[in-house]
Amino acid sequence: MSPLLHAWFFAQNGIHDRYTAWDIPPDGLAAFMRAFRETPEYPTALGVLPCGSANDFVLTANGRNKNGEAAQIFDKILNNKTRPVDVILDMDGGAFINIANLGLDARIVVNAEPLRKSFGQNAYLAAAAKSIAQHKNVRLTVTADGHVISGDFTLAAVCNGQYYGGGMRIAPSAKLDDGLITVVLVEALARPKLMLLFPSIIFQKHTRLKEVRTLTCRELALQWEGEQQLCLDGNLYPRSGQARFKIIAGAMRVY
């Protein structure tokens, strides 16, 4: 059985049988969220072991604890210590618990895929230079709880968690349990300034840039022309025209 099929089988049966589902990234989290989207009434608890791309979710859920992340999670599982977290629904059929994005950062994910074996978690940064050279800003109409913003954007990040891309804290104010979507919009940047964007995110200075806008909402729609790569918790989905999101407060329990 392939790793992806095994992850799907495990997540699906974990939800249907009301067991704890254990996620070992990268495939398990995506499979679990697909199963959750189909059967959200089943209150399965999710334990995410920090073994890959889902480290970004763990950073928000449990903080930085490099020496004891897995031990900390196992202790919570053994003692049945869970907490409720929000889930963001992709209204076209998906769901995620960390971050969705499109624009430059989604292009980086595309270019990072063939680099993962060589660079591991640093593949995202290794792919940044190539992606910046290829980048074209995206004309978006953003509707957040009825408030409309239109313009050209370098990237849009739809956040429940704070971190993506192997530890970059794109949304410092996001919380997993506040019942809100945190949206980070980076207005159109010229290529020279793009080279400074990701270092500023790494050092958590990007929110000071005048082109960076953060807002919160409960329902969100992004509209664009043509096809874009939409990235949900690190997994890519080609999408034409629009993406719509809605947050469900306290929809899942995690260790």
Average pLDDT of the residues in 171-197: 93
The architecture of the domain spanning 95-247 is Sandwich (2.60)
Beta 212-217 vs 99-103: how paired, if at all?
Answer: unpaired
Q: Which of 76, 75, 13 is nearest to 255 (CA)?
A: 76
Max CA distance (Å), the chain: 53
Q: What is the pLDDT of residue 52?
A: 55
* Model confidence pLDDT, tens digit, residues 96-115: 999 999 999 899 888 888 88
In terms of pLDDT, which residue wins out, 195 or 248? Answer: 248
161-182 burial code (b ≥16 CB/10 A, e <16): bbbbbbebbbbeebbbeeebbb
* Model confidence pLDDT, tens digit, residues 72-101: 767 777 777 888 999 999 998 888 999 999
Confidence band of 9 (pLDDT split at 50, 70, 90): very low
Per the document, the length of the chain is 255
Q: What is the pLDDT of residue 2?
A: 42
Domain with CATH 2.60.200.40 in the chain: 95-247
Q: Give the three-state DSSP class for 248.
A: strand
* Model confidence pLDDT, tens digit, residues 21-70: 444 444 566 766 776 777 666 556 777 666 555 578 888 887 765 545 66
Whether residue 7 is predicted with pLDDT greater than 80 in this model: the reply is no
